[in-house]
Amino acid sequence: MLLLRNGTIITGDGKRVLEDHSLAIEGNRIIAIGRHLPAEGREAVDLAGDYLLPGLINHHAHGCTMGPLFASGSPPLSRAEVLANLDKQLQGGVTTVLNVDGFAAPEEVQVVNAWHPLTVKTATSHSPANIEAALAVDGRGLGAVHRQLTMAEMWEWGAVAVGEVGSGHTLGGGGQEYMYIPLRVREETGISLTPRQARRLKEAVLGRYLDVEKFDREGVDELLKEWGLEDKLTAEGAAELVRESVLPSLVPAREGIREAAIEARLLGAPLIVHNAAPTKELLQELARQGGTLVAAHSNHDSFTPGEALAQARHLRREGAIIDIATFDAFGARETTPAPEHFFAFLEYGQADLISTDYGGGKFDPPLVGVKAALERGLGFLPNLVAKLTSRVAQVFPRLAPERGVIEEGKIADLIVVSRQDVALVKQVYIGGKLVLGRR
Ligand SMILES: [Zn+2]
C-alpha cells in the first residue's frame, strides 16, 4: 500500500482541484482520496503541495511501435529509436500512448509493451487504397503481413481507432517537407534542403492547397538563386521534382480516407483524419456523415490561424472532435516554426483534445504546450489537463479504460508535476507502480 500525501489533486474532469489532499493506492487501483487518510501500514510519499494529475493519454503519436512508420509505410524505426520515443513520452508524463502509424501488426505493438512500462495501443488504416497511397510515396516498411491485414481484423484484435488516414507524407505536408522532397532534391543535385526550404519550394510550386495551377515560376527562380542552386536546377526542373514527390499519392490517399471512414462507421470505431489544407473539404464531407471523427492536429500550419479556426468551427458544428498538437513548435521549431496556431485554438476555446504528433521526431511534450499557454493567460490548468486525460478517454473508449480521472476505484496511472513548473514531471506511476522519479 502506498500513500501520496499533501498533494494538490487535479482530478482530470476539467473542474475539480483538491488542495492538500492525499491519495491511497493498493495494487493497481486508487482506493481512497481524502484530506486525512491514515498513514499506518502504508509507505508514504510527501508531495509537498505539488500537483497530482491523471497520467496523460496521448492519442496521436508516431514511431512508438516496431511497425511501418507513418501513412507512407516507411521502414520502422530501430528498437533503440522506438524506446527513445517512449522514454520521451514517459518523461513528459504520458502513461498511455496511441500510435497512429496505421499499418502496424499486432506483434509489433505487443513487443514494445513487453519492453517498456508505458501502455502502447495502436490504430489501424489497413486498407487497399491506403496501401496504394503508401506505395506511391514509399512503402518500404510494408511486408506481406501488413498488406493482408484488414481494419476489421485489427479492430477485433484490439486496435482502438481507425487512422491516422492521410498524413503529411501522403498529402504533401510536413512528411514531404522533412523527408521526401529533400530526398528527391538530394538525389538530383546532391544538396540537402531544410524542411523550411522544402516547404517554401513546395508552396511556390503547388501553393498551400496543392494545386498545379498555382506554379509560381518566378518565385521558384528566386528561391533557387537565394540558395545558390540556379546552376544545378531550372525552375521547371525543381517544380518537376516537387510534383514527382508530392502528387502520385494524393488521389489514393484521399480515396483511403473515404475507405477508412466507411469501415470506421461499420465498426463503430473512432476515426482519426489528417486535418490540413489539402484535406479541408474532405473532412467537412466526413463530418456530415456522423460517427466519431477526430480532426487531427487541427492547428496545422498549412492553414493560416484564421483558416484553421474557421475549419474547426465548421467541423465542430457537425459534431467532430478537434485535436491540437504541440508538434515541435515550442522547442526545435524545425517543422512548425511557431506556436501561434496552438495558442489561437486555446484563446478561442476551439480545442477538445491535445496531442503531440511527431514534429519530425522532435515533438514537444504536451505539458510544455500547457505551460506556455498558461503563461500567456490562455485557459486554466484543470481544463487543459482534461484535454489530455478524461476527454481523450471518453473519445477513445478502448484507449485508456478506467483511466483519465482521479477517482476511487480507477487504475492508478498518475503523475506528479511541480507546482512551480507544470512542465516538470517529477514522478510517474503506471498501474500503481513508480516507473519514473524517486519517492
Ligand atoms: Zn497527420
Rounded to the nearest angstrom, the distance between the alpha carbon of 418 and the centre of ligand 1 is 31
Q: Examine the domain organization and report whether 162 and 213 are in the same domain.
A: no
Q: Examine the domain organization and report whether 11 and 127 are in the same domain.
A: no
Q: Examine the domain organization and report whether 188 and 268 are in the same domain.
A: no
Q: Examine the domain organization and report whether 228 and 290 are in the same domain.
A: no
Rounded to the nearest angstrom, the distance between the alpha carbon of 298 and the centre of ligand 1 is 9
Number of domains, the chain: 3
Q: Examine the domain organization and report whether 144 and 228 are in the same domain.
A: no
Q: Examine the domain organization and report whether 67 and 48 are in the same domain.
A: no
Q: Examine the domain organization and report whether 300 and 386 are in the same domain.
A: yes
User: Taking residues 161-173, what's their average pLDDT?
Assistant: 95
Given 223, 246, 269, the domain boundary residue is 246
Q: Examine the domain organization and report whether 261 and 134 are in the same domain.
A: yes
Query: Is the predicted pLDDT of residue 41 greater than 90, yes or no?
Result: no
Q: Examine the domain organization and report whether 60 and 50 are in the same domain.
A: no
CATH of the domain at 322: 3.20.20.140
**Model pLDDT, residue 88:** 98
Q: Examine the domain organization and report whether 44 and 193 are in the same domain.
A: no
Closest Cα to residue 25, out of 66, 55, 49, 48?
55
**Model pLDDT, residue 161:** 98
- pLDDT, tens digit (0-9, with 9 covering 90-100), for 224-264: 999 999 999 999 999 999 999 999 999 999 999 999 999 99
User: What count of other Cβ atoms lies within 10 Å of the Cβ of residue 434?
Assistant: 16
Q: Report residues near ion ligand 1: CB below 5 Å.
A: 167, 274, 296
Work out the percent of the chain whose per-residue pLDDT is above 90: 97
User: Domain of 90?
Assistant: 56-171+249-395
**Model pLDDT, residue 347:** 98
Query: Is the predicted pLDDT of residue 438 greater than 90, yes or no?
Result: no
Residue pair 367/423 in contact (Cβ under 8 Å)? The answer is yes
Closest Cα to residue 367, out of 421, 304, 420, 329?
421
Q: Examine the domain organization and report whether 72 and 30 are in the same domain.
A: no
The three grid cell numbers given for residue 326, joined into one nine-digit string = 504541440
pTM above 0.85, yes or no: yes
Q: Examine the domain organization and report whether 106 and 132 are in the same domain.
A: yes
3-state secondary structure of 354: strand
User: What phi-psi label fits residue 359: left (phi over 0), alpha (psi between -120 and 50 degrees) or beta?
Assistant: left
Query: What is the CB-side half-sphere exposure of residue 225 using CA atoms within 13 A?
Result: 6
User: Taking residues 22-37, what's their average pLDDT?
Assistant: 96
Rounded to the nearest angstrom, the distance between the alpha carbon of 229 and the centre of ligand 1 is 31
Rounded to the nearest angstrom, the distance between the alpha carbon of 297 and the centre of ligand 1 is 7
Query: Is the predicted pLDDT of residue 39 greater than 90, yes or no?
Result: no
Q: Give whole-number Cα distances, 36 to 17, 27, 39, 395, in Å.
A: 16, 21, 9, 34
Rounded to the nearest angstrom, the distance between the alpha carbon of 174 and the centre of ligand 1 is 8
Given 196, 213, 246, the domain boundary residue is 246
Rounded to the nearest angstrom, the distance between the alpha carbon of 296 and the centre of ligand 1 is 6
Q: Over the chain, what is the mean pLDDT?
A: 96
Given 222, 246, 270, the domain boundary residue is 246
Return d(Cα 54, Cα 46) in angstroms, integer: 17
- pLDDT, tens digit (0-9, with 9 covering 90-100), for 354-405: 999 999 999 999 999 999 999 999 999 999 999 999 999 999 999 999 999 9
